[in-house]
Structure 1
Amino acid sequence: MLVFSRTTGFRHDSIPAGIAAVRALGDRHGFGVDATECGAVFTDDTLPRYAAVVWLSTTGDVLDEPQRTAFQRYVEGGGGYLGVHAAADTEHRWPWYGGLVGARFHDHPATQPGTVRIEDGGTAATEGLPREWPRTDEWYNFRANPRGSVHVLATVDEATYDPVGYRGGAMGADHPVAWCHRYAGGRSVYTALGHTAESYREPAFLRHLYGALRMAAGTAPFPA
């Protein structure tokens, strides 16, 4: 796995914890992990070494045009992508990437407890999780609901956190927070969860993250 965590906008304090968590999962389950904030690794020679590339709370414009082209070719050649949390707040001027991640970040309320509802419990990213999963996170609103172009794995119930005000819950009864889809010949998985450093010490979240890694890498089935 390649974990990419470059930021040119807001930077999450949880990034080091996220990298450490993926490394620990690799040690436990027998896969290698490289971590970088350097876009120079996005080449036609380097990317095919990886089963998947994890965009871990990246923000802003993080690749130049040749690097974007190389990553696009990697996905089109059957590569895997896992976007975590602020990966949806990345490369807003690159339409292809917007299609890959599935939805663009818009805003969020304060970090607070809420309840995730597992919609498809039969995937590696959701198996073993409670159907109603209470946790504390930063609940992203997206510019558009991705349902219809992605397979939704989980939603958040806006009634379980403070929906008041412009930066409260803004998507209504159908608020996806994790999904997957096949895109341009490759595999794409996205989870909006993982804002806090504490997330990466939470057993249920680590189960979710490991399953999402497996799906992105092609070692666990994708929904039909």
Structure 2
Amino acid sequence: MTDPPPIRLLYLEDVLSHYEFVCGILRPRGYDVLPQCKTIDEARTGVTEWEPQVLLADLGLDRRDLDIANKVMQFLADLRKDRPQLTLLIYSGIEALNFSIVRQALVIGVSYLIKEALQDLDHLDRAIQCAKLGRGVVYDIQAAELFKRAIEVQDFTPQQLKVAQLIEMGMQNVEIARELGISSSRISQHIENICKIAGLRSRGEIPRWYYTRYRTGSTAE
């Protein structure tokens, strides 16, 4: 029986020592870690040329640069549309966690990994395998009180959250179905599930619920 082919992973990281550290974790576990990409443009070219199965991106938030982080998130959002089969993870230190970035990640289906979790060297591999199942997941943030609601988001799939976001923006079911490329009946099913999980009575309560929960971070009364 032949071994499975290695998983091709592209790593967006501008610090060589961090890149080498991740290589040291993943290469013995059957990953083909592609050459280091230090910029978004390099990563964009690398995705086209090398066709990785996984993209891991350091947000750079340890430098407190939300502008860079938001540019990375926009790059990943574009990739999610163009290459839905590509597994996407973002990566930052626990001291640099940012609630708005976590919410963006979960809405578009990007997993969020905390660097401190890599003290357990198997953790990155497990995180990638879970992310390959197609859900946005937050890893190892239970110590951060600020992110209780981000953990709650895991009850929803990325597509359910996207439907809720578009409803909050004022779109009708037919428009949402067209935007997401799925059937209107599927939208109705998502709405039913959102209401059930969130404890809402009807579609009409979704806009206020989404706004208070995922735009302001406050709790609806």
TM class by smaller structure:
0.3 to 0.5
TM-score, normalising length from structure 1?
0.40
TM-score, normalising length from structure 2?
0.41
Which one has a larger percent helix, Structure 1 or Structure 2?
A: 2
| Structure possessing the higher radius of gyration over alpha carbons | 2
Which one has a larger percent strand, Structure 1 or Structure 2?
A: 1
- Which has the bigger relative contact order, CA under 8 A and spacing at least 6? 1
